[in-house]
A and B are shown apart, each in its own frame.
Chain A
Amino acid sequence: MSVVVTDLRRRFTEDGPPAVAGVSFTAPTGAITGILGPSGAGKSTVLRLIAGLEEPDAGRVLLHGDDVTDMPVQKRGVGFVFQGYALFGHLSVRENVIFGLRVRRVPRKEAATRADELLHRVQLDGFGDRRPSELSGGQRQRVAFARALAVNPRVLLLDEPFGALDAGVRLELGEWLLRLHHETGLTTLLVTHDQPEAFALAEHLVVLLDGKVAQAGTPAELREHPADGRLEAFLRVVSRRPRHLA
């Protein structure tokens, strides 16, 4: 077991339905788990609850067996990649990457060496002195990955990491992510509303509808045995896509 959430609940408004209405699932160690669902299903909220960016009304979050529910976000040791990159515009690429090390008081020299290793890993050798504003969208996203990896996170949480990119770059970065995952073996949660992407990248899938888990399982299980009609309708779009994408 690796990332376990039990009966997570979170509501933002007094009336209206809750954003997350009792979500439980297990994301296996060392695998990419895709969190899938239509817009507003509560995917981002679940991920932010795991990271500690939101406080749950109820439920627990366990990382590798540790109950971290009451631990502040700074202490959880998760890597989070935001849809909008959230790179620090006033810092260079290298300074962005070592931000997490610098706030832990790792000496600048040591941190810089680590930054160059990471930039090599995300194929951005020689980009360390640039500003984020001088990079393309795909390059920025890889800097965001390097920054998240720099602190040796226990899990990697990705919220629509390719959401702001065009189709060609998404495909390319998807393959790159698979390779990266192969090398690091990090337990990864990948939120996406793009079903082909989820089916192509994830070994395990959790489908959310209206703040609840509609179904969880391997891509094959979901394709063969959709749990109910609504889910089938949501997933049917996938099977109509061209084969080579899935």
Chain B
Amino acid sequence: MRGARRHGVLPGFGPALGVTLLYVGLLVLVPLAALFVKTAGLSPAEFFRIVTAPRALAAYRLSFGAALAAALLNAVFGLLLAWVLARYRFPGRAFVDALVDLPFALPTAVAGLTLTAVYSANGWLGRFLVPLGLKVAFAPAGVVLALTFVGLPFVVRTVQPVLEDLDAELEEAAAVLGASRLQTFIRVVFPNLLPPLLTGFTLAFARALGEYGSIVFISGNMPFRTEIAPLLIVTKLEQYDTAGATAIALVLLVTSFVLVFTINVLQRWTRRRAGASTVIGRGFRLAPALADAPALRRGLVAAAFLFLALFLFVPLAAVFVQALAKRPAAYLAAITQPAALSAIRLTLLTAAIAVPLHLVFGVLAAWLIAKFRFRGKGLLVSLIDLPFAVSPVIAGLVFVLLFGRQGFLGPFLAAHDWKIIFAVPGIVLATVFVTFPFVAREVLAVLEAQGNEEEEAALTLGAGGWQTFFRVTLPKARWGILYGVVLCNARAMGEFGAVSVVSGHIRGVTNTLPLHVEILYNEYDFTGAFAVASLLTFLALVTLAARKLEEARVRTA
């Protein structure tokens, strides 16, 4: 009892910590450790030769360069979008606000498919760009485009809340002291936005660096020209060069570690700075005398819409238009053929295992982190975040290293005739890995925002630890839990890279919906590919609707 006291007044610290460590250890640490162990089998000279081969260097150059370009684009336009959404009221604002999250929820294979269709030589936008000499699809520009798409929400979603919470009195104080609007922005507003801007930038960069699904479609995958590092890993794996794949993967993984660590430091900085502005009282309400000039406002809103149109609206519309371009009968046929039905079944099964698992353990982990003080908490949070920054390809690779025929447990599994890789268990494991952070992250954010007072009140009223958890904490966090679950589900159903590596693409057996999209696309069955993609897009839109619902509930609570 006394030991637990040190960590906080709520009971249940010991069991919660034990279970969470087991969960993180088995599902994140052990698989990633396999990568290090495997690389240790290489001599330093061999390792160095592999990771500095010309083809590898070209792949890093494209991966890092394109991810950096995409993250910079997102920093500029993310700041613009955050400003426009936080400060202005205009027709379509709620719609834009909801759609910004689409890249979180839309399977990357669908994003790749539709961006390729829109920007290829005869696509809606490509037909205007290509004659101007702007080749996007099947060129490095396409890689930047797709990476910008997948990273689009990060800067907006880190900057916007800080901007909304920034007190109007700060800007008023600057104005009274004689600062112009521009001076106020540069000297007062921007310094407050810098920490979340850098956080969002790093998140977008980390996400872009590992991205695989959308790039497979749009880049054309030409070695030395449009081959990104995750793709090189897959290529080596397909050529049975496991050691080569592992070495390249290690380079990316170490980068991910560094990025996750940086993100956590930046997030702490954001919180400190947000706490430092010494304003008490009313929320955002800028004096009308200080509002932006109408011309500036209209210009910024127009720029935001233009950016979103190019990167979001047009590709989204293209999915449905292409899917329904032929007769409805063709659409129905495409989604009811046996291979499609089996893909739907496998996708649902995978989500049905991954989501409840994360629901239970993610909520527990969030509770542990929000309610107790203990050493190594920052490290635990980083470990939970890690699968988010690790390339999905690496997520698949680590399970191949553990359970594949040449893997650590390969002989044991073969002896018992158990199959994990190129079978359903491998797909489930890879999906569990990549969807690891979502429930825990969402619930943690809600719990941290709410504080401990209500739990403490329950304790003084005689409630026990579990009673407090079930009667107070869980109901308080229910909308956060709902969104975490819905997002986790969207990711589970939409995962491409990790599943692709472990699946073996056995039609009717180990194909999920996103993999099925790729197969149809490679067979030039575009109507079929878009029909299946439209199912996944619908799922993404439902996910966004759930977020809106959560926000509405939180506001009225």
Which of A82-90, A185-193, A195-203, A212-220 touches B? A82-90
* Contacting pair A90 B178 (CB below 8 A): no
* Contacting pair A84 B167 (CB below 8 A): yes
B506 close to A (CB within 8 Å): no
* Contacting pair B169 A73 (CB below 8 A): no
* Contacting pair A53 B276 (CB below 8 A): no
A161 close to B (CB within 8 Å): no
* Contacting pair A48 B287 (CB below 8 A): yes
B279-293 at interface with A (beta carbon < 8 Å): 279-282, 287-290
Contact with B along A45-57 (1 / 0, CB 8 A): 0001001111100
Task: For the complex, give the distance between the alpha carbons of A112 and B473 in Å.
Answer: 51
* Contacting pair B287 A151 (CB below 8 A): no
User: Given A54-B288, A151-B178, is A90 in contact with B275 using a C-beta cutoff of 8 Å?
Assistant: no
A133 close to B (CB within 8 Å): yes
B170 close to A (CB within 8 Å): yes
A77-112 at interface with B (beta carbon < 8 Å): 77-80, 82-91, 99-100, 102-104
* Contacting pair A80 B192 (CB below 8 A): no
Task: For the complex, give the distance between the alpha carbons of A89 and B170 in Å.
Answer: 9
Categorize the interface residue count of chain B.
Answer: 20 to 34
User: Given A54-B287, A55-B288, is A99 in contact with B174 using a C-beta cutoff of 8 Å?
Assistant: yes
A72 close to B (CB within 8 Å): yes
Task: For the complex, give the distance between the alpha carbons of A48 and B290 in Å.
Answer: 12
* Contacting pair A73 B188 (CB below 8 A): no
* Contacting pair B281 A84 (CB below 8 A): yes
Query: Out of A73, A75, A76, which one reaches B290, CB within 8 Å?
Result: A73
List, in ascending order, chain B residues with CB within 8 A of A80's CB. Answer: 172-173, 176
Query: Out of A73, A78, A88, A148, which one reaches B289, CB within 8 Å?
Result: A73
User: Given A54-B288, A84-B169, A90-B192, is A132 in contact with B278 using a C-beta cutoff of 8 Å?
Assistant: yes
* Contacting pair A132 B176 (CB below 8 A): no
Task: For the complex, give the distance between the alpha carbons of A88 and B176 in Å.
Answer: 14
List, in ascending order, chain A residues with CB within 8 A of B179's CB. Answer: 74, 99-100, 103
* Contacting pair B278 A140 (CB below 8 A): yes
A246 close to B (CB within 8 Å): no
Query: Out of A85, A133, A151, which one reaches B177, CB within 8 Å?
Result: A151
Task: For the complex, give the distance between the alpha carbons of A103 and B187 in Å.
Answer: 9
B522 close to A (CB within 8 Å): no
Task: For the complex, give the distance between the alpha carbons of A88 and B279 in Å.
Answer: 9
B277 close to A (CB within 8 Å): yes
Contact with A along B331-348 (1 / 0, CB 8 A): 000000000000000000
A131 close to B (CB within 8 Å): yes
Task: For the complex, give the distance between the alpha carbons of A113 and B363 in Å.
Answer: 55
A147 close to B (CB within 8 Å): yes
A164 close to B (CB within 8 Å): yes
Task: For the complex, give the distance between the alpha carbons of A91 and B177 in Å.
Answer: 15
* Contacting pair B177 A90 (CB below 8 A): no
* Contacting pair A133 B180 (CB below 8 A): no
Q: Which of A82, A91, A148 has the most CB of B within 10 A?
A: A82
B183 close to A (CB within 8 Å): yes
* Contacting pair B177 A55 (CB below 8 A): no
A128-176 at interface with B (beta carbon < 8 Å): 131-133, 140, 147-148, 150-151, 164
User: Given A53-B175, A53-B176, is A85 in contact with B289 using a C-beta cutoff of 8 Å?
Assistant: no
B191 close to A (CB within 8 Å): yes
Residue of A nearest to B175 (CB): A73
* Contacting pair A79 B176 (CB below 8 A): yes
The smallest beta-carbon distance between B481 and chain A, in angstroms, is 33
The smallest beta-carbon distance between B547 and chain A, in angstroms, is 30
B273 close to A (CB within 8 Å): yes
* Contacting pair A104 B280 (CB below 8 A): no
* Contacting pair B280 A53 (CB below 8 A): no
The smallest beta-carbon distance between A164 and chain B, in angstroms, is 5
List, in ascending order, chain B residues with CB within 8 A of A151's CB. Answer: 177-178
Query: Out of B172, B273, B281, B282, which one reaches A53, CB within 8 Å?
Result: B172
List, in ascending order, chain B residues with CB within 8 A of A132's CB. Answer: 276, 278
Task: For the complex, give the distance between the alpha carbons of A133 and B191 in Å.
Answer: 16
Residue of B nearest to A77 (CB): B178
* Contacting pair B280 A85 (CB below 8 A): yes
The smallest beta-carbon distance between B449 and chain A, in angstroms, is 20
* Contacting pair B177 A89 (CB below 8 A): no
* Contacting pair A89 B278 (CB below 8 A): yes
The smallest beta-carbon distance between B364 and chain A, in angstroms, is 34
Task: For the complex, give the distance between the alpha carbons of A51 and B192 in Å.
Answer: 25
Task: For the complex, give the distance between the alpha carbons of A82 and B168 in Å.
Answer: 11
* Contacting pair A100 B178 (CB below 8 A): yes
Query: Out of B176, B192, B287, which one reaches A89, CB within 8 Å?
Result: B192
* Contacting pair A103 B176 (CB below 8 A): no
- Give 18 pairs: A residue, B residue, CB < 8 Å, sorted on A: A53-B175, A53-B287, A54-B288, A74-B180, A79-B176, A82-B173, A84-B279, A87-B277, A89-B275, A89-B276, A90-B192, A99-B174, A99-B179, A103-B180, A132-B278, A133-B276, A140-B278, A147-B177
User: Given A80-B176, A89-B277, A132-B276, 9 other A-B contacts at CB below 8 A?
Assistant: A53-B289, A73-B287, A74-B178, A85-B278, A85-B280, A99-B177, A100-B177, A103-B180, A148-B177
On B, residues with C-beta under 8 Å from A are 167, 169-170, 172-180, 183, 187-188, 191-192, 273, 275-282, 287-290
